[in-house]
A and B are shown apart, each in its own frame.
Chain A
Amino acid sequence: MTRWRWLLVVAIIGVALVPLSGARMATFLATDVAIWALFAVSLNILVGYTGLVSFGHAAYFGIGAYAMGLLLKNTTVPFVLALPLAGLLAAMFAVLVGFFCVRITKVYFSMLTLAFAQIAWALCFKVNAVTGGDQGLPGIPYPGFLKYFDGVPVIGAFDMGERFHVLVIVLVVTFLVIIHRILGSPFGRVLTMIRENPGRAEFVGVNVRRYQLAAFVIAGLFAGLAGAMFGIFNRGMYPDLMYWTKSAEVLIMVVLGGMSRFYGPILGAFLLLWLNQEITAVTEYWSLIVGLSLMALIFFLPGGAADLVERGRRFLATRAGRAATAVVETRTRNP
């Protein structure tokens, strides 16, 4: 499988170097997708792996973005310090919220996450002096250190937005690898066990709530990191980005992409953002077209886009006469 690993590395480098194509729109889309992909994957730690459906994940994204915006705009704290601080703040809020949320189950869990997220939104909307109210924080600067890359080959020719794109790709890939490692560890397998059967997990001595809380905090942390990057990318942070409709959007990405696969939410982020971009460019009736497209996907591709990829891959594998491998892979489907 090393061949595929190399291909993946090449692909990532390719995405990082999209600015070379000269198509600035493609660069923006790629940065946007990368950030939302991290956000969606962080939500999938809860939804797909632990079986907890959060309706309020935008809160952590928003807290990360506000923290980053305030630090870069009002203080001299550099980006390299501001990023972990933003993530940490989001994680701390996740500890607080998660402490209460993991005590309840199913739809009530979803509703409590929603309630806390709406409280966070209302706070950011109200505390004008800090967050700028509904007008938010426009003018979040790019990380200062990016300007020192002038002499570096390739990247030196990029403008600040394009350099930031490279930085985002590097960071998102790093974070995705970390999440992948966490989910592949024994800790991740306990989460899956909790999703499959919390009662059994409890029976074999797992402290279910503690594990759920840990998952909740990890998800909040990475959502905060994604938000911190988004605030810079968006050149400003606004409370709309914390409203429940944003939480719904990221949940759509997870479901649309396929929550049973690690890479599903990444596909979902790409699909939804790309669909939205292309449809709004053509018609003001984007809502109708996006809605109908979603319905079509729900009915014809209930396993998400990842399902289609899997089917295509298996088809190719069979055709290549490697049916045996496909069977093995199907059996080891994860999670």
Chain B
Amino acid sequence: MTVSILINQAFSGLTTSVFLFMAAIGLSLIFGVVRVLNFAHGSFYMIGAYCAYQFSVYFGPGNASFWMGAVLAASVVAFLGLLVERFLLRHLYGKEELLQLLFTYSLVLVFADSVKAIWGIEQVSVARPPALSGRVELAGAVIPEYSLMVSIICSFLVLALWLIIQRTRVGRIIRAAAADRETTTALGVNVTWLNSSVFAAGCFLAGLGGALVAPVTAISLGMDTEIVIACFIAVVVGGMGSFWGTLLGSLLYGQVLAFGILLMPEFSLFAVYALMAVVLIIRPHGLLGSSEAVRA
């Protein structure tokens, strides 16, 4: 086994992590603030991918049209999320948590058939933006340019989200809400507004994740339940509601998968579940999670 193989696996693991993080961060954000474990997060991700496909059909191939399509797709998903939160989910706040969970599960069922009714049963695909269809070679490893670009976008996203959470008023409210819900309400923060906007933002991120993954995967029915379980693992390993935790969880997931495949391909299927179990046994609140952030 040469060094270049190791680098290759590390980079492909990193690519996995980047796409996973894009999907998982919204789930973590929603859980941290709205306190809802959103099973439908994968559905929002799937709808994002299908919308990206739709926009790519409207706009045709091209660099600008791809990125515009991705942002538009994410916006559509955010709007859909806002509708769900405003008209349905809102009425379940303060009720039995299992009801909220069941509600998001029923959303999975409804969205699955809606997507089938709108886009049909055949798989669809989105072409990579032409400018990013090549690859770069780095220390013997091959990395697709597109993945590299998404990694860069992801890094900016991490930075931007961190700045928002650390430096802005909105961020302070989010942090306060994540840490202690009751006090935040007592301090006069408009919780209704907070929940709606965080839920919509989480959906925006899910939609963006789906739109950006579209060129590297087949867009098909059923991609919703596949991604949501991976998101759960990433979020739980890192610590639910923890921003850096989700990043760490995604990174670990990618590396465990990549090296699991290299070292014991027969058992790569449960390497990631084993990761989740081991982390939870050793650190009950995830690697970077705090016990206060858990109420649900």
User: B106 touching A115 by the CB < 8 A rule?
Assistant: no
| Alpha-carbon distance A300/B288, docked complex (angstroms) | 39
Q: Is A210 interfacial (CB-CB < 8 Å)?
A: no
User: B109 touching A298 by the CB < 8 A rule?
Assistant: no
Partner of B95, one of A104, A114, A248, A302: A302
User: A252 touching B110 by the CB < 8 A rule?
Assistant: no
User: A108 touching B109 by the CB < 8 A rule?
Assistant: no
Partner of B280, one of A53, A111, A118, A302: A111
User: A287 touching B281 by the CB < 8 A rule?
Assistant: no
Q: Residues 13-49 of chain B: 1 if any A CB is under 8 Å from the residue's CB, otherwise 0? A: 0000000000000000000000001010000000000
* A292: B residues at CB distance < 8 A: 106, 110
| Alpha-carbon distance A123/B273, docked complex (angstroms) | 11
Q: Residues 107-149 of chain A: 1 if any B CB is under 8 Å from the residue's CB, otherwise 0? A: 1100110111011001101100000000000000000000000
* A291: B residues at CB distance < 8 A: 106-110, 112-113
* A251: B residues at CB distance < 8 A: 98, 101-102
Partner of B273, one of A122, A248, A256, A302: A122
User: A108 touching B103 by the CB < 8 A rule?
Assistant: no
| Alpha-carbon distance A115/B286, docked complex (angstroms) | 13
* B267: A residues at CB distance < 8 A: 126
Partner of B103, one of A105, A118, A295: A295
User: A108 touching B105 by the CB < 8 A rule?
Assistant: no
Q: Residues 295-317 of chain A: 1 if any B CB is under 8 Å from the residue's CB, otherwise 0? A: 10011001000000000000000
Q: Is B168 interfacial (CB-CB < 8 Å)?
A: no
User: B274 touching A107 by the CB < 8 A rule?
Assistant: no
> What's the interface size class on B, roughly?
35 or more
| Alpha-carbon distance A294/B98, docked complex (angstroms) | 13
User: B280 touching A104 by the CB < 8 A rule?
Assistant: yes
User: A119 touching B110 by the CB < 8 A rule?
Assistant: no
* B106: A residues at CB distance < 8 A: 290-292, 294-295, 298
With contacts A252-B105, A290-B109, A295-B110 taken as known, whether A118 is within 8 angstroms of B99 at the C-beta atoms is no
Q: Is A154 interfacial (CB-CB < 8 Å)?
A: no
With contacts A106-B296, A114-B232, A287-B110 taken as known, whether A302 is within 8 angstroms of B269 at the C-beta atoms is no
| Alpha-carbon distance A299/B107, docked complex (angstroms) | 13
- Give the size of the chain A interface in residues (CB under 8 angstroms): 39
Q: Is B164 interfacial (CB-CB < 8 Å)?
A: no
Q: Is B175 interfacial (CB-CB < 8 Å)?
A: no
Which B86-134 residues have C-beta < 8 A from chain A? Answer: 88, 91-92, 95-96, 98-99, 101-103, 105-110, 112-114, 116-117
Q: Is B176 interfacial (CB-CB < 8 Å)?
A: no
Q: Is B74 interfacial (CB-CB < 8 Å)?
A: no
Q: Is A10 interfacial (CB-CB < 8 Å)?
A: no
User: B280 touching A125 by the CB < 8 A rule?
Assistant: no
Hey, which bits of chain B sit against chain A, CB under 8 A? 37, 39, 88, 91-92, 95-96, 98-99, 101-103, 105-110, 112-114, 116-117, 225, 229, 232-233, 236, 240, 266-267, 269-270, 273-274, 276-277, 280-281, 284-286, 294-296
A-B pairs with beta carbons under 8 Å apart, 13 shown: A103-B281, A104-B280, A105-B284, A105-B294, A114-B276, A116-B277, A119-B277, A251-B101, A251-B102, A255-B99, A288-B110, A295-B106, A298-B102
